[in-house]
């Protein structure tokens, strides 16, 4: 079912969704409208994607069936205070990090259908990982529609809201962990004599290839690791150093720390 969507906020993540939806032919530009206060950004979205853009949410709310809140958490309260008297009962989807559904219900009421989504940076290239949760007013059809929006820019899973902090710590913050790992590989390549350009190319492609070996497979990562590791070989030596440095434990602690910080920011 095709529905008209209104984005409140036209930043990078909103653009990633818009681009993915149009490229996947999930929606046409005619079904998408954006409220964006910055003139230059509004003009860019209009000319690049052929969208209808407006400067304020007042001109958008009455024209769409679904509202996507794509503004920073720090300004969400101000946006919701303007939205609460103009909202027409549409499905509301929020991609702001940290804020629980109860925060939105405080402005829009308990009967407002609200879906909270935690996307990640990969959505910018249609390779995102998103998790969705809903309140009791969201129908199965509404949830399926929302899921289709985020599968247009990667993969999507449905979770209970109590798990959203864990999602934030894992996939929301996860790209930064991977970038740090790739950075370390590059620096190691340079340290052992490779040019920075060659080290970068090899590091990025190695991580990408390894991830693609796992994607769509039921094989446990440990089994694939064993396939690369010969007794007494170079990989075994390198893995020993990772374990000696507490590599897996450090990664697990990083995810847990980010999860706990998400709980603090959300008041949980």
Residues 154 and 178 in one domain: no
- Indicate if 157 and 44 belong to the same structural domain: yes
Cα 168 from chain centroid?
9
Provide the terminal-to-terminal Cα distance of the chain, rounded to the nearest Å.
Answer: 36
Buried b (16+ CB within 10 A) or exposed e, 181-214: ebeebbeebeeeebeeeebbeebeeeeeeeeeee
Whether 179 and 162 share a structural domain: no
Same domain, 184 and 219: yes
Residues 30, 151: one domain? yes
Give the chain's domain count: 2
Distance separating alpha carbons of residues 34 and 9, to the nearest angstrom: 7
Q: Are residues 207 and 141 in the same domain?
A: no
Last residue of a domain, one of 167, 196, 217: 167
Whether 150 and 62 map to the same domain: the answer is yes
204 in the same domain as 142:
no
Separation of alpha carbons 101 and 89, rounded Å: 16
Q: Does one domain contain both 27 and 148?
A: yes
For residue 257, give the CATH number of its domain: 1.10.3730.10
DSSP state at residue 171: I
Matching residue, tokens 């046409």: 28
Cα-Cα-Cα-Cα dihedral sign, residues 189, 195, 196, 199: negative
| Boundary residue ending a domain (142, 167, 192) | 167
Q: Which domain holds residue 118?
A: 5-167
What does the pLDDT read at residue 51? 93
Do 212 and 138 lie in a common domain? no
Instruction: Select from 132, 148, 167 the last residue of a domain.
Output: 167
Report the CATH number that the domain containing residue 152 is assigned in CATH: 3.40.50.720
Residues 157 and 179 in one domain: no
95 and 212 belong to one structural domain: no
Largest CA distance in the chain: 69
**pLDDT per residue rounded down to tens, the chain (268 residues):** 679 999 999 999 899 899 988 988 888 999 999 999 999 999 999 999 999 999 988 888 989 999 999 999 899 999 999 998 888 889 999 999 889 999 999 999 999 999 999 999 998 888 999 999 999 999 999 999 999 999 999 999 999 999 999 999 999 999 999 999 999 999 999 999 999 999 999 999 999 999 999 997 899 999 999 999 999 999 999 999 999 999 999 999 999 999 999 888 777 6
């Amino acid at each position: 079912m095709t529905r008209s969507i209104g984005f409140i906020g036209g930043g990078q993540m909103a653009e990633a969704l818009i681009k993915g939806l149009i490229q996947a032919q999930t929606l046409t530009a005619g079904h998408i409208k954006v409220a964006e206060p910055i003139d230059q950004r509004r003009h860019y979205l209009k000319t690049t994607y052929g969208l209808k853009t407006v400067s304020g949410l007042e001109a958008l709310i009455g024209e769409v069936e679904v509202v996507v809140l794509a503004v920073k958490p720090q300004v969400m309260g101000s946006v919701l205070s303007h939205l609460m008297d103009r909202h027409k009962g549409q499905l509301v989807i929020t991609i702001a990090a940290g804020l629980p559904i109860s925060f939105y219900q405080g402005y829009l009421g308990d009967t407002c259908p609200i879906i909270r989504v935690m996307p990640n940076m990969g959505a910018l290239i249609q390779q995102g990982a998103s998790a969705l949760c809903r309140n009791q007013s969201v129908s199965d059809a509404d949830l399926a529609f929302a899921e289709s929006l985020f599968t247009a820019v990667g993969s999507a899973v449905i979770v209970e809201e109590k798990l959203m902090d864990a999602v934030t710590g894992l996939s929301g913050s996860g790209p930064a962990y991977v970038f740090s790992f790739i950075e370390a590989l590059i620096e190691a390549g340079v340290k052992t004599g490779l040019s920075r350009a060659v080290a970068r190319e090899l590091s990025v492609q190695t991580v990408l290839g390894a991830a693609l070996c796992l994607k769509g497979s039921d094989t446990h990562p440990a089994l694939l690791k064993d396939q690369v590791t010969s007794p007494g070989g170079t990989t075994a030596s390198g893995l020993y150093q990772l374990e000696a440095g507490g590599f897996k434990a450090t990664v697990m602690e990083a995810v847990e720390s980010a999860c706990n910080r998400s709980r603090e920011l959300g008041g949980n």
